[in-house]
Amino acid sequence: MALKKLVAGNWKMHGLSSDLAEISTIAEAARAYPSVDVALCVPAILIERAARAVPGFAIGGQDVHQEAKGAHTGCTSAQMLLDAGAALTIVGHSERRDAQRESDAEVQAKAEAALGCGLNVILCVGESLEIREGGKAVDTVLAQLDGSIPPQPPEEAELAIAYEPIWAIGTGKIPTADEIAEMHAAIRGRLVERYIAPGSGVRILYGGSVKASNAGEIFSIPDVDGALVGGASLRADDFMPIVAAAAAVEA
Ligand code: 13P
């Protein structure tokens, strides 16, 4: 079953009010590709202004706290993201798993909190270079997936998985098509095992050095249902050719 492709940008810690015009340019250009879902996950402080600037276009957060409210200095709840106009959020990005020492259990709690209040979730998994070279990439990613996804298939909102090999993020290196195909097939298998029928409807995105020059090949790999794009999502000139590549594969 071919799923509609989702191309989401992760702006990470990039973006000031002067970049709102670029978000508008991307949202406007995305209207030419109705066969692809397009989203931008921007810094929390930009969400409200971005969402107001581009009504109907999916703006997302990059992290969420698992509690609804409380004494958690510097954190943002799912309700706050929704209230600001977000439609989705990333959880479990490797940069947070690493720098903020987020565990699988914490990522799972964040995903459940977000989905439970109607925010779509892109949940990230991915192995280090050491694990890849040690031949344990698939086992490691499936263990991460098992520990991080909600126990039941979500009904309130959409869960998507992003496979992002850590060594491919921001490096210009990407796995071979066979390695991506093997990992996405393994993730699909585990989702179907865990969620039965709904497991085949969960979109599995690839992330890590996706650019216009490699997007077409990546999108044609079975079970690649889109991309999570970092650096190449900051400018419409770099991002829109990736969206166009997704549309071309759909066609
Ligand atoms: P790059 O596309 O810059 O490699 O980043 C990937 C990523 O981490 C997206 O979440």
CB distance 230 to ligand 1 below 6 Å: yes
Residues 202-230 have a mean pLDDT of 98
Residues 210-221 as b or e (16 or more Cβ within 10 Å = b): bbbebbeebbeb
Residue 1, pLDDT score: 63
Q: 31-88: per-residue pLDDT in tens?
A: 999 999 999 999 999 999 999 999 999 999 999 999 999 999 999 999 999 999 999 9
Closest ligand 1 atom to residue 229 Cα is 2
Per-residue model confidence (pLDDT) at position 251: 67
* Average pLDDT value over all residues in the chain: 97
Contact 95, 65 (CB under 8 A): no
- Indicate yes or no: pTM above 0.85: yes
Phi, psi of 154 (to 5 degrees): -65, 145
Q: What is the mean pLDDT of residues 106-122?
A: 98
* Ligand 1 pocket residue status of 229, Cβ below 6 Å: yes
| Dihedral Cα 31, 87, 46, 92, nearest 10 deg | -120
Hey, whose CA ends up nearest to atom 2 of ligand 1? 230
Ligand 1 centre to CA of 171 (Å) is: 9
Give the integer Cα–Cα distance in Å for 224 and 142. Answer: 16
Cα–Cα nearest to 245, from 218, 208, 224, 206: 218
Distance 238 CA to ligand 1 centre (A): 13
**Can you tell me the distance from the alpha carbon of 150 to that of 108, in angstroms, rounded to the nearest whole number?**
6
65 classed as catalytic? no
What pLDDT does 250 receive? 73
Determine the residue of 10, 213, 214 to mutate for testing ligand 1's pocket, defined as the one with the most ligand atoms within 8 A of the Cβ atom.
Answer: 10
